[in-house]
Amino acid sequence: MTAASTPELEADRRALIALIQDEAVFHGDFTLSSGKKATYYVDMRKLTLDHRAAPAIGRIMMDLIRDVDGIVAVGGLTLGADPIANAVMHESARSGHPLDAFVVRKEPKDHGRGRQIEGADVAGKRVVVVEDTSTTGQSALKAVEALRREGAEPVAVAVIVDRRTGAQGAVEAEGLQWLAAIDLDDLGLQPQ
């Protein structure tokens, strides 16, 4: 369990946990993007795109990455990372510590400039990859790989919900810092 750095941010985190428990945890038989089977699914897109949760997500994720030195931008693999990166970008501008956002396409465009990374220029820059939830870490690592090809220096992966199913180990094996705002204990769920 990770606590936020101030009582106000911890209140935001607790409110987000309650929203996740009430509206974003679904029980049944699910296949995760990793191909793994699960008896519950945490649908964070339901909340990262919700006006009640997005501002708090921006504040919570800014707090989570506050000690990562020298970063200039956040983003990750589209679609899950996009609203998180935007929430962080807006909160960072509001708080006077502006960070840009980027989007990593699953594949480079086959037209126009043929880019795989849109938004902030990441070449030569320290960046953080963000994600809504992570099971194996492969989505985040696909973004890391694309960022490294573009000359960026990814230094951390920050997730809203850590499913505690191996993502942390995979990310740390790539030399990256792992940061998670909420884990399964917070949600009253067991790893699968």
Task: Determine if residue 165 is labeled as part of a ligand binding site.
Answer: no
Task: Determine if residue 186 is labeled as part of a ligand binding site.
Answer: no
Task: Determine if residue 111 is labeled as part of a ligand binding site.
Answer: yes
Task: Determine if residue 136 is labeled as part of a ligand binding site.
Answer: yes
Stretch (H or E) spanning 140: helix 138-149
Task: Determine if residue 142 is labeled as part of a ligand binding site.
Answer: no
Task: Determine if residue 23 is labeled as part of a ligand binding site.
Answer: no
Task: Determine if residue 133 is labeled as part of a ligand binding site.
Answer: yes
CB 84 within 8 A of CB 130: yes
Task: Determine if residue 78 is labeled as part of a ligand binding site.
Answer: no
Tally the C-alpha atoms within 13 A of residue 71's C-alpha that lie toward its C-beta: 28
Task: Determine if residue 22 is labeled as part of a ligand binding site.
Answer: no
- Phi, psi dihedrals of residue 21, rounded to the nearest 5°: -60, -40
Task: Determine if residue 34 is labeled as part of a ligand binding site.
Answer: no
| Feature table: binding site for orotate | 135, 163
| Feature table: binding site for 5-phospho-alpha-D-ribose 1-diphosphate | 105-106, 109, 111, 131-139
| Feature table: binding site | 105-106, 109, 111, 131-139, 163
